[in-house]
Amino acid sequence: AQSVSQHNHHVILSEAASLELGCNYSYGGTVNLFWYVQYPGQHLQLLLKYFSGDPLVKGIKGFEAEFIKSKFSFNLRKPSVQWSDTAEYFCAVNAVSGAGSYQLTFGKGTKLSVIP
Amino acid sequence: DAGVIQSPRHEVTEMGQEVTLRCKPISGHDYLFWYRQTMMRGLELLIYFNNNVPIDDSGMPEDRFSAKMPNASFSTLKIQPSEPRDSAVYFCASSSGDRGSSPLHFGNGTRLTVT
């Protein structure tokens, strides 16, 4: 079974600092990759996704992620964080297999606190 | 588009009582998922449906949990009898499928507290 690891449980940054959140997965086949964000008290929302093509994916609110197949990684980055980025971030991996099947696995999440 | 609609938003019940959570997916989506979120275990997939048919229920904790999808616009997750360890936020999500390339759209969740 596939697994997703987010190594940082809680990251604390000052505004304008750069952000990189790690995500590694274990699955040798084709994958679709996602980052979701959950603002305090809200539901998960899609931040960005990767299916194929350019491994550098740009999402909403200035976030981007890079898929490095050789490292089984899909790290999330933002050059300059804002207080409003305070949230929990989830990496998710879907193993592409047979038609109709869906094996989406979420990481345990990384809580980001941005200090004004 | 109203998004995924879940009810109730909050549910407080006593141990042993039956709890029913409801979900209305986005119209046209053919996948529906039930997740449970806790501090200790994060997001756990309980069960998912494709075209109203349960595909994978291996995440359902035990026989006290059951889920149904009688039609394309409605699903329920039932816990009977409920226990304090069932306290969590339960999310419903839907997707248009396409072999996993479509993202999930989550509802606002139901916060369940079992005392």
Tens of pLDDT, residue by residue over B7-18, are 999 999 999 999
Give pLDDT, residue A71. Answer: 94
How far the first Cα of chain B sits from its last, in Å, is 36
Q: Distance (Å) from the C-alpha of residue A51 to the closest C-alpha of chain B? A: 7
What pLDDT does A101 receive? 57
Kindly list the residues from chain A whose CB atom is less than 8 angstroms away from the CB atom of residue B99. 96, 99-101
Phi, psi angle pair for B33, to nearest 5°: -125, 145
Q: For B44-78, how does the pLDDT look when each residue is reduced to its tens digit (9 = 90+)? A: 999 999 999 998 898 998 899 999 999 999 999 99
Which whole number is the average pLDDT over B30-57?
92
Cα dist from B58 to B45, B51, B75, whole Å = 9, 18, 18
Q: Looking at residue A48, what is its pLDDT?
A: 95
A49-53, A97-101, B3-7, B40-44, range with the lowest pLDDT: A97-101
Q: What is the pLDDT of residues A57-90, one digit of tens each?
A: 999 999 999 999 999 999 999 999 999 999 999 9
- The confidence score (pLDDT) of residue B97 equals 67
Percentage of the residues of chain A whose pLDDT score is greater than 90: 74
Q: Is B107 on the interface with A (CB under 8 A)?
A: yes
Nearest in space to B89 (alpha carbons), one of B113, B57, B62, B67: B113
Instruction: Calculate how close chain B gets to A100, using CA atoms only, in Å.
Output: 6
Give the Cα separation of A90 and A36 in Å (integer): 5
Q: First-to-last CA distance in chain A?
A: 41
pLDDT band of residue A27 (cuts 50, 70, 90) is confident
Residue A99's pLDDT is 58
* Closest C-alpha among A70, A88, A71 to residue A23: A71
